[in-house]
Structure 1
Amino acid sequence: MDDALELAVVIPTFNERANVPVLIAKLDQALAGRRWEAIFVDDDSPDGTADAARELARLDTRVRVIQRIGRRGLSTACIEGMCATAAPIVAIIDGDLQHDETVLPKMLDALQRDPLVDVAVGSRFVDGGGLGEWQRDRVKKSALATRLSRRVLKADLTDPMSGFFAIRTDVARRLAPTLSGIGFKILLDLMTASPEPLAFVELPYVFRTRIEGESKLDHVVAMEYLIALYDRMFGRVVPVRFAMFAAIGAFGAGVHFLVLSPLYAGLLWTFRASEIVATIVAMTFNFFLNNLLTYRDARLRGARALFEGWIGFCLVCSVGAIANVGVAIFLFNENYGGWAWPALAGIAIGAVWNYVLSSRFVWGRY
């Protein structure tokens, strides 16, 4: 049929209200003569991004909106969008206008022209592509991330960090159940999830400078990228969320000792009082870091939610904390290796219990 849908453009958004009408206007111009739809997948943006998209959808039936409540994350938003269309080809483009929408018709043509190609990737590192006005340190970080990705990739992509690409929808749906959904790099997730290497072409584009809104790039995003790589390399042996919780617990152990040592050995507090204070401080440290990293997809935001979450974390982990303190005091009283080993044993006893309860009753209930 001449009016059959050709392409779905999935746009994951968070606080991009001002960019919504501009992007649709740009898509309308770039995809003139093509049959397309735009699917905004919004993580319940407080700035009303979903409302802005719905206003456009009332006038333009090519625009659709998925407003996610209680679900967050760019990769999972892309997965939902890719599975929500009937179009045979689906493209991913950021809502911040930094990707060059004029490349979309070339991606569509490449996939329609060659049925053996699975993915058309917008690349900043092939001839004709570029990083725009990126600062030197960001270029170096991107190059490092690209080198790291080659440890898990099954393809010689020049720009595996690209968030701008088009893929056959049946391929995306087939891979969806095996995707980790971690972090911001959905292309890397797709390329590494496929049992067989995906055939791809790369098309150049120049990365633009953001005009409206604030960049989502931060140190947490970089950490999520490393987490995604870990998941692909070792996730089947040790689940990534438990590994993150355990790693943060290890940092918490360091905090525990940093508090315990000066209180007991320096200020000459009793071991009982020193251990209790150190446990509370370490538990607080673990809560905030887990909220930032381990449970980023269900992160608690706002003073009230954080306070309630911290209280809940302390309550559900109270059994683990009691076991921690009790075991440490018992071993200390029995003179098992001074004070350090009893404290470490107490931490280990409480760790697994804390993970199970906090996953279920702190972040799992939001």
Structure 2
Amino acid sequence: MSLSPDEPVVTAISVEERVGSPDITVVVPCYREVDNVEPLVCALEDALTGRDWEVIFVDDNSPDGTIDVIRRLARTNWRVRGICRIGRKGLSSAVIEGILASSARFVAVMDGDLQHDQTRLGDMIDALARNRCDIAIGSRHVEGGDNAGLANAWRHALSNGGIRLAQMMLPVHVGDPMSGFFALKRDLFVRTAPRLSGQGFKILMDIILSAPEKLRVEEIPCTFHPRNAGESKLDAVVLLQFVGLILEKLFRGWLPLRFIGFATVGLTGVGVNLIVMMLLRSVGMDFGLAQEVSTLVAISSNFWLDNKLVYSDRRLRGMRLLGGFLVFLLVCAVGAWANIGIVQLFRAKGEGLGQASAAGAMIGVVWNYAVSSTLIWKAR
């Protein structure tokens, strides 16, 4: 039987007749969205009228009581479900957990701040159900779309920069690869999930690059609304993580995203070391003392950037921050000792200084990364 253009593909059933899982799961990763949960559920009820759906909120243990509101709604509304994650953070990993907790045929992902146009969810699901595409994207950058809801020129620049970068990498043309509003069949996601990095904020790009086959994409024009409440999470860190994801995919997973970030921070430490050394020498400080001070400053800079950017999902605070810094100093000292030893070994075998230094540096950064990930920023 053919479907008319306006006929919903997935229809609802009554609560009394309810058996099994819904056909549609909307996954909403959230953090500090206490004032947006109830309005979003109401908006979804309007947008998905006549369809069989549920919403799964994945909350990273928000201190504002977001999960409490979700649980209160869930007690009287079977469509609402909540996952509270403790010791784990990050949008991409939250999306993965939310989708894998679903048994629905179709899964959609949207933010919890009411900026995504939930009225287009039906069109996105119908595009999948009619097999027009493998993934349907709510797009701000096709005819009829609008991204006026981005807060300021800085956020527009971040978004546009990420889009241009992503479009150079993707195997298919996507007008809005930075979108966080999309839908796909759950079985496709399950086949793709083992290949995902699970890090950063832009999981759509990760899915398209990691899928076992080239995906057919349909972009549904949508309006990006101003945030309803709370604060935006889009900042320079998001774009840096996005660049790291692209590099990881270029290396086909041989270099993990976190290692790329860790090594990049290490390179900035070299620059910090040289700048501080030159400044201290310019004011007459003894070379040996200047070297020690500049090294300490560079290590401190590396630790702060790693904690802020590379391990943002495992960020240390309070006394754990101090303890982590002391261990980091020890780890870097051992890494420097290993670096020197490797250089001497390669030089003894007749290798040039450049090759020996490169080998020593590589051994040092691998050591620092492995031990830091295991002892300092270990997963909890």
The answer (yes or no) to whether the contact 1:9–1:90 under 8 Å persists in 2 is: yes
**Among residues 229, 238, 243, which one is paired with 1:226 in the alignment?**
243
**Among residues 117, 121, 125, which one is paired with 2:137 in the alignment?**
121
Give 1:310's aligned residue: 325
The answer (yes or no) to whether the contact 1:276–1:325 under 8 Å persists in 2 is: no
The answer (yes or no) to whether the contact 2:32–2:62 under 8 Å persists in 1 is: yes
In structure 1, stretches of 5+ residues that fail to align are: 329-342
Give the Å deviation of 1:252: 0.6
Give 2:335's aligned residue: 320
The answer (yes or no) to whether the contact 1:275–1:325 under 8 Å persists in 2 is: no
| 1:31–1:254 distance in 2 versus 1, CA, 3 Å | same
Give the Å deviation of 1:149: 0.9
Is residue 160 of structure 1 aligned with residue 177 of structure 2? yes
Aligned mates of 1:41, 1:104 — CA distance in 2: 19
Is residue 216 of structure 1 aligned with residue 233 of structure 2? yes
| 1:365–1:120 distance in 2 versus 1, CA, 3 Å | closer
The answer (yes or no) to whether the contact 1:192–1:232 under 8 Å persists in 2 is: yes
Is residue 352 of structure 1 aligned with residue 369 of structure 2? no
Aligned mates of 1:358, 1:49 — CA distance in 2: 32
| 1:32–1:291 distance in 2 versus 1, CA, 3 Å | same
* Cα displacement string for residues 54-85 of structure 1 (whole angstroms, at most 9, x for unaligned residues): 11111112111111111111011111111110
Aligned mates of 1:105, 1:365 — CA distance in 2: 38
Q: Where does 1:136-147 land on structure 2 (aligned, <5 Å)?
A: 136-147=153-164
The answer (yes or no) to whether the contact 1:253–1:347 under 8 Å persists in 2 is: no
Give the Å deviation of 1:173: 0.8
Is residue 184 of structure 1 aligned with residue 201 of structure 2? yes
RMSD of aligned Cα (Å): 2.6
Give the Å deviation of 1:295: 1.5
Aligned mates of 1:88, 1:110 — CA distance in 2: 13
Aligned mates of 2:153, 2:283 — CA distance in 1: 46
Secondary structure (helix, strand or coil) at the match of 2:25 reads: strand
Aligned mates of 2:336, 2:155 — CA distance in 1: 42
Aligned mates of 1:27, 1:261 — CA distance in 2: 59
Aligned mates of 1:281, 1:326 — CA distance in 2: 23
The answer (yes or no) to whether the contact 2:115–2:149 under 8 Å persists in 1 is: no
Aligned mates of 1:287, 1:344 — CA distance in 2: 22
**Among residues 39, 44, 69, which one is paired with 1:22 in the alignment?**
39
* Cα displacement string for residues 127-162 of structure 1 (whole angstroms, at most 9, x for unaligned residues): 221012444454344333222112221211111111
In structure 2, stretches of 5+ residues that fail to align are: 1-11, 344-356
Equivalent position amino acid for 2:80 in 1: V
Number of positions where the alignment pairs a residue of Structure 1 with one of Structure 2: 350
| 1:199–1:205 distance in 2 versus 1, CA, 3 Å | same
Is residue 363 of structure 1 aligned with residue 374 of structure 2? no
Q: Where does 1:89-104 land on structure 2 (aligned, <5 Å)?
A: 89-104=106-121
| 1:262–1:365 distance in 2 versus 1, CA, 3 Å | same
Give the Å deviation of 1:177: 0.3
Residue range with higher mean Cα deviation, 120-129 or 141-150: 141-150
TM normalised by structure 2 equals 0.84
Aligned mates of 2:194, 2:42 — CA distance in 1: 34
After TM superposition, where is structure 1 displaced by more than 6 Å over at least 4 residues in a row? 324-328, 343-349
* Cα displacement string for residues 282-332 of structure 1 (whole angstroms, at most 9, x for unaligned residues): 1111111011222122222x333322322232234342355679999xxxx
The answer (yes or no) to whether the contact 2:192–2:212 under 8 Å persists in 1 is: no
Aligned mates of 1:280, 1:324 — CA distance in 2: 17
Give the Å deviation of 1:22: 0.9
Give the Å deviation of 1:93: 0.8
Give the Å deviation of 1:10: 0.1
